């Protein structure tokens, strides 16, 4: 049965706005996938990601684990004959993916756009001002020796801090579950018997050992940095 595709042009425009290059210059020669040091025969990238973004296939592009395998070495940008900058497209997809799967959704956009920075500062400030007002310490300091816990009781600070940590972890878990389900649908886990969960251990080992980073050759190609450069950025 033929698959009916529904291009999302707004998605394409937003990806271009995230520092992706002009997608029309890519003519699908496949050089990017051929020179990528971590692309494999059964999962070549970033050529397929370039196709999906060109066609505005939002579901396929975002429910795709390959965008997180790319560590922005820049080899594809260096060898691309049309200067389509596939690495920039992969980076834009990662940025968009974080905002798209974030829970709650508005936080993903707020954290990715500088114009929302005043709002992010205002929310905790208003919470503390409300507590100070409730304690009666908003317009006047407590009498006697200056003791911080009299101005803002430690218990209140701990409750606010633990609540914020709990909400952050809950949001991260729900966002991760949304992305996990999208990957499962995209990979056809239910039809081919494969499931992303069976690869968790090997994936964590790859991350902890920086195995993919080490596949960068010792000599840089164009602006591409070596493994040590990536490792330095990882721990900043």
pLDDT band at 46 (very low <50, low <70, confident <90, very high): very high
Residues 46, 211: Cα–Cα separation, whole Å:
19
For 158-175, what is each residue's pLDDT tens digit? 999 999 999 999 999 999
Q: Is the dihedral of CA 5, 8, 11, 17 positive or negative?
A: positive
Residue 224 has pLDDT above 60, yes or no: no
Q: What is the three-class DSSP state of 66?
A: helix
pLDDT digits (tens, 9 = 90+) for 7-27: 888 999 999 988 888 888 999
Check if the beta carbon of residue 214 is closer than 8 Å to that of residue 234. Answer: no
Residue spans per domain, the chain: 9-184+195-234
> 186 with 117: CB under 8 angstroms?
no
- Mean pLDDT calculated for residue range 189-194: 50
Closest CA to 73 of 208, 211, 235, 212: 212
DSSP per-residue codes, the chain: -PPPP---HHHHHHHHHTT---GGG-----HHHHH-TT--SSS--SHHHHHHHHTT-HHHHHS-THHHH-----HHHHH-TT---HHHHHHHHHHHHHHHH-SSHHHHHHHH-GGGHHHHHHHHHHHHHHHHHHHT-SSSPPSSS--HHHHS-HHHHHHHHHHHHHHHHHHHHHHHHHHHHHHHHHHTHHHHS--GGGGHHHHHHHHHHTTTGGGS-SS--TT---HHHHHHHHT-
Average pLDDT score, the chain: 82
Q: Assess contact for 67 and 92: CB atoms under 8 A.
A: no
Mean pLDDT within 207-230: 61
Centroid of chain to Cα 197? 20
Structure tokens at 91: 């980076």
- The per-residue pLDDT for 220 is 54
For the segment 75-85, what is each residue's pLDDT rounded down to a tens digit? 899 999 999 99
Contact (Cβ atoms closer than 8 angstroms) between residue 223 and residue 74: yes
Decide: 103 and 171 in contact? Cβ < 8 Å.
yes
- 34: which residues sit within 8 A by CB, 6+ positions away? none
Global confidence as pTM: 0.76
- pLDDT tier at 226 (50, 70, 90 boundaries)? low
* Tokens at 209, concatenated: 């050992």
User: Mean of the pLDDT values across residues 75-103?
Assistant: 92
Side-chain half-sphere CA neighbours of 191 within 13 A: 4
Higher pLDDT, 71 or 161: 161
Q: Given this model, what pLDDT does residue 169 score? A: 95
């Amino acid at each position: 049965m033929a698959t009916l595709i529904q291009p999302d042009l707004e998605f394409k425009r937003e990806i271009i706005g995230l520092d992706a290059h002009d997608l029309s210059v890519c003519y699908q020669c496949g050089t990017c996938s051929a020179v990528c040091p971590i692309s494999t025969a059964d999962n070549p990238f970033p050529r397929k990601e370039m196709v999906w973004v060109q066609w505005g296939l939002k579901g396929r592009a975002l429910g795709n684990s390959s965008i997180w395998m790319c560590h922005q070495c820049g080899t594809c940008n260096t060898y691309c004959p049309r200067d389509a900058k596939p690495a920039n497209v992969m980076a834009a997809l990662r940025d968009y993916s974080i905002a798209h799967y974030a829970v709650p959704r508005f936080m993903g956009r707020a954290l990715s756009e500088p114009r929302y920075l005043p709002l992010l500062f205002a929310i905790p400030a208003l919470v503390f001002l409300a507590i100070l007002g409730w304690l009666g310490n908003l317009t006047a300091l407590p009498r006697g020796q200056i003791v911080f816990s009299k101005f803002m009781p430690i218990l209140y600070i701990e409750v606010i801090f633990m609540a914020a940590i709990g909400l952050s972890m809950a949001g991260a878990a729900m966002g991760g579950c949304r992305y996990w389900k999208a990957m499962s649908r995209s990979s056809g886990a239910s039809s081919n018997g494969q499931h992303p969960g069976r690869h968790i251990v090997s994936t964590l080992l790859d991350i902890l050992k920086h195995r993919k980073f080490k596949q960068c050759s010792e000599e840089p190609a164009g602006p591409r940095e070596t493994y040590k450069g990536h490792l330095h950025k990882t721990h900043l």
